[in-house]
Chains A and B, each alone.
Chain A
């Protein structure tokens, strides 16, 4: 019993036994290499293939002999001739042309044009000979010499480097930036396994025509080659013992890394799954804290598909890594093709879905609308600003009933109705004008009307009680609707000179001032501000500055005083000195006088 392979020569199908196929294949590669890669050679190869196909079909007798065996191939090759036989009959071999020039010196004149032409041929042949030598090698994973999957040894065969150097390069790549891992997996996926004998030959680039290859070099080159390979052997023998221990070392490191990646991928998958479940619960109305905010721009059905797609887009690559690692570490069987293909398809679909949701949502938010409402407030010298958390029912409050009612109303609303995107600015106003509030309601939509409709359904107001101004913590939407960047911006205009006391719970709405920078020791709840022409100023800071300025002024005065004293002293010293000098001079002159 023999395994047969189906081959196709010039679009005719033959069944051929495996060993016969390998013989034929190496023969064809030999011929291909002999003729090079030029336009001419393609035609020649085609002719030869055609002829082989013809000879095969002559040998096949339907019903009696339907498979080409080794004997047939041998006979066909004998009839067609080995590459070495071609050389004897015509001079396509470079060697045959190099010398005739000298040998036929007399006839050179006559033979000139032909010589020239064949010289060109020769160069061409030589060129193709080299590229063919490289390209006819196949990049495959060497299953006989592997640490993880034979990628490195396959690369080594391809580039004629020992596999362990490739491995070391990969480990270095991994240590510096981790890029080696990605490259490794890509190569793993791309490079086929070398399983059959023909594959292994192709991988090593060792064809049956080694003798032919040698023949094309003259004696000198042969010597060089032998020396070279001899040296190579010598080196490799020395390195082998090192290489073996390195190999086992790397396999241990590889296993450990594999297990780590496996754990990481597994945990990530579980995490993503939990994230998915809680998001779905959120979408279904069971609110919890684990919510992916951007989802709120979608209606529940779309949001479900969006989170499904999003999680799939992340989980599927993680799964791929997980399974690959499983294969590496525990040598399990590869996932079956259908499963992996359908996962890939699911991944692509999820990416497309995400893109779809992004595009559609963008389409629905390209118009923006603002509704602006102004409301005067009672003029006071001092305002106390604080946040009113409408989710909390304040039973201790004076107007308990009012708040309770409010609280019940809010309590019946689900998360989607309560929104927090509120900002507050406090702006200066001429001291003679009356203070007022300006509400700006924003929303986006596919059209302007859509957007302003949404903006109009935002409920937000500020309540004044004497000096107190309460800012609600949330705004509400009148009905269940999609979130399209709805937000509220409140401008509070106060006359210059007004004192403002801000509760720290309002900080989350304030953009331009920072209450924690303006707190007295011991009083951590509120901060005091005063309105000036350039906006709110912290009273504490102003006082500090004043005090500092005062201090500086005092300091300066002190300095000046000191200076003055110093000057006076210096002056006094000088006059004193003058005096002593004068007296000594007098003395001197008197001695001079006495000497004289």
Chain B
């Protein structure tokens, strides 16, 4: 149980970080985000993404615009806000610290 929770916590933080960094490259459609995350094997199903996107958007880190689509309903394209950029920069720093910390911690262990 505890292991599962730890995994969930770790994944969750990283997932948000990854989404932010994917979106920071330019405006992008949700299903494109998903295919990237799937490639990275971070995400299996699409349903997980929408709550996350909504939360990030409501916290002011993301915004979106509607764009017409040739093959179906109009699509939501996500962009990062300036606030989101700042958060992302801080997360970058934290990530580097974490990587360092983890590397140090794992130094003498085989995984």
Identify the A interface with B (CB < 8 A).
Answer: 10-12, 31, 35, 40, 43-44, 47-48, 50-51, 53-54, 57-58, 78-83, 85-86, 88-92, 96, 99-100, 103-104
Contacts and interface: CB of A to CB of B under 8 A. Distances in A.
A90 B46 contact: no
B8 A91 contact: yes
A48 B47 contact: yes
B54 interface: yes
Provide the main secondary structure of the chain B interface: helix
25 contacts: A11-B73, A40-B55, A44-B51, A44-B54, A48-B47, A48-B50, A53-B72, A54-B72, A78-B45, A80-B46, A81-B44, A81-B47, A82-B45, A85-B44, A85-B48, A86-B51, A88-B8, A89-B8, A89-B43, A90-B15, A90-B48, A90-B51, A99-B1, A103-B2, A104-B9
Contacts of B5: 91, 96, 99-100, 103
A40 B30 contact: no
B50 A53 contact: no
A78 B38 CA distance: 14
B73 A79 contact: no
A57 B15 contact: no
Query: What size tier do the contact residues of chain B reach?
Result: 20 to 34
B71 A40 contact: no
A58 B71 contact: yes
Contacts, number: 97
B58 interface: yes
Given A10-B73, A99-B5, A81 B46 contact: yes
Contacts of B8: 88-91, 96
A65 to B, nearest CB: 15
B28 interface: no
A47 B54 contact: yes
Contacts of A44: 50-51, 54
Interface in B16-53: 30-31, 43-48, 50-53
A123 to B, nearest CB: 16
B89 interface: no
A80 B44 CA distance: 9
Contact of B73 (A31, A43, A53, A86): A53
A31 B45 CA distance: 13
Contacts of A51: 30-31, 46, 50
A11 B72 CA distance: 11
Given A50-B76, A78-B45, A91-B9, 15 more contacts: A10-B73, A12-B72, A47-B30, A47-B54, A53-B73, A54-B75, A58-B71, A80-B47, A89-B8, A89-B11, A89-B44, A89-B48, A96-B8, A100-B6, A104-B9
A13 to B, nearest CB: 11
A92 B58 CA distance: 16
A81 B48 CA distance: 8
Contacts of B75: 50, 54
A90 B47 CA distance: 11
A104 B71 CA distance: 47
Nearest to A79: B46
B67 interface: no
A371 B73 CA distance: 83
A510 B73 CA distance: 87
B47 to A, nearest CB: 4
B69 interface: yes
A81 B12 contact: no
B73 A99 contact: no
Contacts of B51: 35, 40, 44, 86, 90, 92
Given A40-B58, A48-B50, A85 B73 contact: no
A465 B99 CA distance: 132
Nearest to A45: B50
Contacts of A82: 45, 47
Contacts of A57: 71-73
Max chain B CB contacts within 10 Å: which of A40, A82, A89? A89
Contact of B47 (A12, A31, A43, A100): A31
A516 B76 CA distance: 95
B21 to A, nearest CB: 18
A10 B73 CA distance: 8
A85 B53 contact: no
Nearest to B11: A89
Contact of A54 (B12, B53, B58, B69): B69
Given A12-B73, A54-B73, A103 B6 contact: yes
Closest 4 CB pairs of A and B: A81-B45, A57-B72, A81-B47, A47-B50
B58 to A, nearest CB: 7
B76 to A, nearest CB: 7
A31 B53 CA distance: 16
Contacts of B46: 51, 79-81
